[in-house]
């Protein structure tokens, strides 16, 4: 996922104040389009449909989304370290 584009999309929601259901705006108003990254954020419930064509940024889900990515990264790093350790022990 394009981290830079994702950050830009999140910034647009914050700049326009679309962080609560009462302040939801259309993707056109937010000038974020309907890109693959927007669709993924909607699928992950970071961007939530507030009814009709309006959306808002769910900060709590954004935090969970980011923490989940960190967890996966740490798991991958741990796995790599185990593989290196096993490789070094065989020598």
What CATH number should be reported for the domain holding residue 53? 1.10.10
Q: Write down the pTM of the prediction.
A: 0.75
**Overall domain count for the chain:** 1
Domain holding 42, by residue range, is 3-90
At residue 8 the predicted structure's pLDDT band, cuts being 50, 70 and 90, is: very high
Predicted confidence at residue 71, as pLDDT, reads: 86
At residue 3 the predicted structure's pLDDT band, cuts being 50, 70 and 90, is: confident
Contacts of 91 (CB under 8 A, 6+ apart): none
pLDDT tens track for 63-83 = 998 888 788 889 999 999 999
Predicted confidence at residue 14, as pLDDT, reads: 95
Q: Give the residue ranges of DSSP H helices in 2-58.
A: 3-15, 27-30, 36-43
Residue 11: pLDDT above 70? Answer: yes
């Amino acid at each position: 996922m394009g981290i830079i584009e994702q950050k830009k999309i999140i910034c647009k929601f914050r700049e326009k104040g679309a962080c609560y259901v009462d302040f939801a705006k259309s993707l056109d108003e937010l000038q974020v389009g309907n890109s693959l990254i927007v669709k993924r954020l909607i699928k992950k419930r970071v961007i939530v449909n507030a009814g009709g064509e309006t959306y808002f940024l769910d900060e709590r889900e954004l935090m969970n989304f980011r923490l989940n990515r960190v967890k996966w990264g740490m798991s991958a790093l741990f796995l790599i370290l185990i593989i290196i350790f096993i490789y070094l022990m065989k020598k």
